[in-house]
């Protein structure tokens, strides 16, 4: 144990001595959080929605036909009660709900005016805005159609409600994204580099010849980066609360626990890369190209995954950052508890265990 | 047999069809300086890795400091020191921190560490540099420090893999004084080198060609046997029979 502590102390010394890297480590998340603007908006196809049809009349049926015909939306279920809708949103599968009030057609015909409610999951504000715009235009299209045959202009008023993020702040979207990105960068790249550095400098051999167990070499490398990453998670959360006015709606403890899980996933990837490579440059390239790029592309924080072709959507499932992004969004913005994210957590946990096992396996064979 | 600290019998390492080390046998006694010579690719490093417990032999037996290299690698590791051709201290740590770290992973107590590091720093005249980064030291000093750190836990054997590569003759000379001092205190020194003048400093040397030991004796006897004036000639006569390339 004393040897282990000696080793960890040495790792901290490495980190502290390297002032430039240290500055980048702590500066990067702050800069990213502060300058990240609003993510790109894209056309979104086949978003799953639910329809609550309390009217069940001609007008509602016609609008539903139009919605189902549209390539933007895919109706996942028809509900009969308003209260079931919230549950559907919590499952995270649907992006939007359309609510027809009772006597929709009656109101429209007799009072010339009827309301329709559109509710969107605004934790991803870009998607939410785009989807409500699509929905509104479908409704307006229908309105124009019926008015064509009607001397008295009828009016359907869409009432839009943004769920979870009423002000449509861009921040909710990118804070979890930046978190995933920063953790990925620090844990994967820094761990990989610091282990490969020992190989390059020939100090790894010395360590392997020493009575210090090789497996501890790897573990004690990971400890400082675990702690650094936790500091970064705290910085990002503090910034988002106090600078971006974005409160954490869910449990902070849960958020930190999930972050630790993701950090361990990243450390395992970093260790794996370091075992497979022998130079710092290659380790860095693989970390950047192999990890950062997929994180940016597939985690869903820049580009909506829903919009990608099926094969890419499938690929996105093996990117750990995607699951972490969903988890952080659920806790931070939607304020959901563990029961809502156990599946994502389990996936992330499985990935971590898998990565750790293959890293340790290849580390052992490498020694032979 | 008591003072035989390295006993090696028909040690062999194969990688697939390739036999890197072919049935080498030799013994080294306590306090001896044993030179392990050979051209690049002759199998020196592979042999040394097996003796240090870093790689398992395909065939053969060896006892290092009385411990079996198959069963007791952990014990062996506690009883050997190692310094490689590639420089092996942490450049971004200070002299004192390096000593502390390497002493620490060999399980020295804080008290021992304190005494040892003070003595070591005094011996190498590094008092004023104790808190400067190793990176700022001249190469010769670094290597002397690396050697001293490699034997800080008073191992029975120290393995030196081309320890003096790239160092000027004067520093090399000083380095060898440290080696003699260690040998006199009872530490067995197992050293690989490319410099034939260094081979002259060894008590006995072996020359490996294509994975086998082709010659093993004192330098004086070898020169007599091969009718050569210098060790260079002996080495050349043996090494040119090699069929393996670089």
What's the pLDDT tens digit per position in B91-115?
889 999 999 999 988 888 889 889 9
Query: What are the structure tokens assigned to A83, written together?
Result: 């209260």
Sign of the C-alpha dihedral, residues A124, A128, A129, A134? positive
Does A126 or B71 have the greater pLDDT score?
B71
Q: How many CB atoms sit inside 10 A of residue B126's CB?
A: 20
Set of chain B residues whose Cβ sits within 8 Å of the Cβ of A367 = 54-55
Contact call for A7 and B104, based on CB within 8 A: yes
ipTM: 0.82
Contact call for B92 and A13, based on CB within 8 A: yes
- The mean pLDDT of B15-19, rounded to a whole number, is 88
Residue of A nearest to B90 (CA): A203
Query: Best residue in B104, B153, B157 to probe A by mutation, most A CBs within 10 Å?
Result: B104
Residue of A105, A93, A298, A99 whose CA lies nearest to A184: A298
Q: CA B43, B45, B47: angle at the middle one, nearest 5?
A: 70
The yes-or-no verdict on residue B34 having pLDDT over 90 is yes
Pairing relation of β-strands A73-79 and B212-217? unpaired
DSSP string, A35-93: H--PPPP----SEEEEEEESS-SHHHHHHHHHHHHSSSEEEEEEES-HHHHHHHHHHT-
**pTM, to two decimals:** 0.72
pLDDT tens-digit series, residues B182-221: 999 999 999 988 888 888 889 999 988 888 888 888 988 8
> Tokens 């919605």 correspond to what residue?
A67
Residues whose CB falls within 8 Å of the CB of residue A191, separated by 6 or more in sequence, listed in order: A221, A222, A225, A266, A267, A270, A271, A274
Residues whose CB falls within 8 Å of the CB of residue A357, separated by 6 or more in sequence, listed in order: none
Contact call for B93 and A14, based on CB within 8 A: yes
Query: What are the structure tokens assigned to A143, written together?
Result: 């309105």
What are the residues facing A52 on neighbouring strands?
A79, A99
- The mean pLDDT of A281-307, rounded to a whole number, is 80
The yes-or-no verdict on residue B167 having pLDDT over 50 is yes
**Residue A98 near residue A49 (C-beta atoms within 8 A):** yes
The partner residue sitting opposite A206, judged by closest CB among B56, B82, B91, is B82
pLDDT tens-digit series, residues A46-67: 788 888 888 788 878 888 888 8
The yes-or-no verdict on residue B1 having pLDDT over 50 is no
Q: How many CB atoms sit inside 10 A of residue A121's CB?
A: 26
Contact call for B105 and A210, based on CB within 8 A: yes
């Amino acid at each position: 144990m004393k040897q282990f502590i000696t080793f960890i102390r040495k790792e901290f010394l490495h980190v502290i001595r390297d002032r430039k890297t240290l500055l980048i480590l702590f500066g990067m998340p702050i800069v990213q959080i502060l300058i990240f603007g609003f993510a790109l908006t894209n056309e979104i196809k086949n978003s799953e929605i639910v329809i609550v049809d309390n009217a069940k009349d001609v007008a509602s049926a016609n609008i539903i036909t139009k919605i189902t015909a549209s390539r933007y939306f895919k109706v996942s279920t028809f509900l009969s009660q308003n209260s079931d809708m919230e549950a559907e949103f919590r499952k995270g599968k649907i992006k939007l709900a359309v609510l027809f009030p009772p006597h929709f057609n009656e109101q429209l015909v007799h009072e010339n005016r009827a309301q329709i409610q559109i509710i969107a999951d605004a934790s991803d504000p870009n998607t939410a805005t785009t989807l409500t715009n699509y929905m509104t235009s479908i409704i307006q299209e229908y309105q124009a159609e019926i008015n064509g045959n009607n001397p008295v202009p009828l009016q359907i008023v869409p009432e839009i409600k943004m769920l979870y993020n009423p002000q449509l702040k861009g921040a909710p979207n990118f804070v979890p994204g930046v978190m995933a990105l920063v953790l990925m960068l620090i844990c994967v790249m820094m761990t990989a580099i610091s282990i490969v550095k020992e190989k390059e400098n020939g100090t790894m051999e010395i360590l392997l010849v020493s009575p210090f167990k090789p497996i501890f070499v790897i573990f004690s490398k990971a400890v400082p980066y675990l702690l650094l990453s936790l500091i970064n998670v705290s910085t990002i959360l503090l910034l988002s609360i106090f600078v971006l006015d974005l409160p954490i709606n869910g449990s902070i403890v849960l958020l930190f626990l999930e972050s630790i899980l993701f950090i361990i996933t990243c450390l395992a990837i970093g260790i794996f890369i370091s075992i497979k490579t022998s130079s710092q440059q290659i380790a860095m390239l693989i970390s950047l190209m192999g990890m950062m790029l997929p994180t940016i592309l597939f985690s869903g924080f820049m580009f909506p995954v829903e919009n990608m072709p099926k094969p890419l959507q499938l690929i996105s499932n093996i990117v750990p950052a995607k699951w972490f992004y969903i988890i952080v969004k659920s806790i931070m913005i939607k304020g959901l508890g563990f029961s809502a994210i156990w599946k994502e957590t389990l996936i992330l946990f499985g990935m971590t265990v898998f990565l750790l096992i293959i890293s340790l396996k290849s580390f052992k064979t490498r020694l032979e | 047999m008591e003072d035989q600290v390295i006993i090696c019998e028909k040690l062999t390492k194969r990688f697939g069809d390739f036999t890197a080390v072919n049935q080498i046998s030799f013994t080294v006694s306590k306090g001896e300086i044993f030179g392990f010579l050979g051209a690049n690719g002759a199998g020196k490093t592979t042999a040394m890795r097996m003796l240090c417990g870093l790689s398992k032999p395909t065939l053969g037996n060896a006892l290092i400091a009385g411990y079996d290299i198959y069963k007791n690698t952990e014990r062996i590791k506690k009883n050997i020191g190692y310094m490689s051709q590639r420089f092996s201290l942490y450049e971004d740590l200070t002299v004192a921190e390096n000593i502390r770290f390497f002493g620490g992973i060999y399980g020295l107590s804080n008290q021992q560490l304190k005494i040892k590091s003070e003595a070591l720093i005094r011996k190498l005249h590094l008092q004023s540099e104790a808190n400067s980064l190793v990176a700022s030291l001249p190469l010769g000093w670094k290597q002397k420090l690396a050697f001293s750190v490699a034997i800080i836990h008073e191992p029975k054997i120290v393995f030196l893999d081309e320890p003096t590569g790239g160092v000027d003759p004067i520093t090399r000379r000083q380095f060898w004084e440290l080696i003699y001092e260690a040998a006199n205190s009872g530490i067995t020194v197992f050293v690989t080198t490319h410099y034939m003048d260094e081979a002259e400093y060894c008590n006995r040397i072996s020359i490996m060609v294509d994975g086998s030991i082709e010659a093993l004796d004192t330098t004086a006897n070898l020169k007599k046997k091969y009718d050569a004036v210098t060790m260079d000639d002996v080495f050349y006569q043996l090494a040119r029979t090699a069929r393996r390339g670089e």
